[in-house]
Amino acid sequence: MANILVTGASGFIGKRLIPRLSADGHEIFQANRESGDVSEKSTWLKFPRAEVVIHLAGKTFVPESWTEPAAFIKCNLLGTVAALDYCKKHNARLVFMSSYLYGNPVTLPIPETAPVVASNPYALSKKLAEEACQFYSDSFGMNITILRPFNVYGADQPENFLIPSIIRQVNAGKVIYVKDLEPKRDYVYISDLIEAITRAIELRQGINIFNIGSGVSYSVEEIIRIIQCVKGKNLPVHSVAERRKEEIMNTVADITAAKLALSWAPRFTLLEGLQQMFTKDN
pLDDT score for 39 = 97
Q: Are strands 144-149 and 151-153 parallel, antiparallel or unpaired?
A: unpaired
- For the stretch 142-172, pLDDT in tens is 999 999 999 999 999 998 899 999 999 999 9
Say if residue 244's pLDDT is above 80. Answer: no
Query: What number is the average pLDDT over the span 67-92?
Result: 98
Helix (H, G, I), strand (E, B) or coil at 106: coil
Domain of 92, in residue numbers: 3-281
pLDDT score for 241 = 79
Query: What number is the average pLDDT over the span 251-260?
Result: 98
Say if residue 234's pLDDT is above 60. Answer: yes
DSSP 162-231: HHHHHHHHHHHTS-EEES-S--EEEEEEHHHHHHHHHHHTT--SSEEEEEES-S-EEEHHHHHHHHHHHH
The pLDDT-based confidence of 280 (bands split at 50, 70, 90) is low
- For the stretch 258-279, pLDDT in tens is 999 999 999 999 999 999 988 7
CATH number at residue 236: 3.40.50.720
Distance, in Å, from the CA atom of 187 to the CA atom of 163, rounded to the nearest integer, reads 10
Distance, in Å, from the CA atom of 264 to the CA atom of 147, rounded to the nearest integer, reads 12
pLDDT score for 240 = 85
Higher-pLDDT residue of 1, 270: 270
Query: What number is the average pLDDT over the span 174-192?
Result: 96
- For the stretch 6-62, pLDDT in tens is 999 999 999 999 999 999 999 999 999 999 999 999 999 999 999 999 999 999 888
Determine contact, residues 194/20, Cβ cutoff 8 Å: yes
Query: What number is the average pLDDT over the span 211-218?
Result: 98
Higher-pLDDT residue of 55, 247: 55
Burial class of residue 97 in the structure, from the number of CB atoms within 10 Å of its CB (0-12 exposed, 13-18 middle, 19+ buried): buried
Distance, in Å, from the CA atom of 46 to the CA atom of 237, rounded to the nearest integer, reads 50
The whole-chain average pLDDT of the chain stands at: 95
The pLDDT-based confidence of 282 (bands split at 50, 70, 90) is very low
Largest separation between any pair of C-alpha atoms in the chain: 57
Peptide bond into 111 cis (omega under 30): no
Q: List the strands of the sheet with 27-31, edge to edge.
A: 27-31, 3-7, 52-55, 93-97, 144-149, 207-212
Q: Identify each DSSP E strand in the chain by its residue range.
A: 3-7, 27-31, 52-55, 93-97, 144-149, 151-153, 176-178, 184-189, 207-212, 217-219, 237-239
Domain count of the chain? 1
- For the stretch 107-130, pLDDT in tens is 999 999 999 999 899 999 999 999
Nearest to 65 by CA among 16, 17, 125: 125
Nearest to 1 by CA among 28, 29, 37: 28
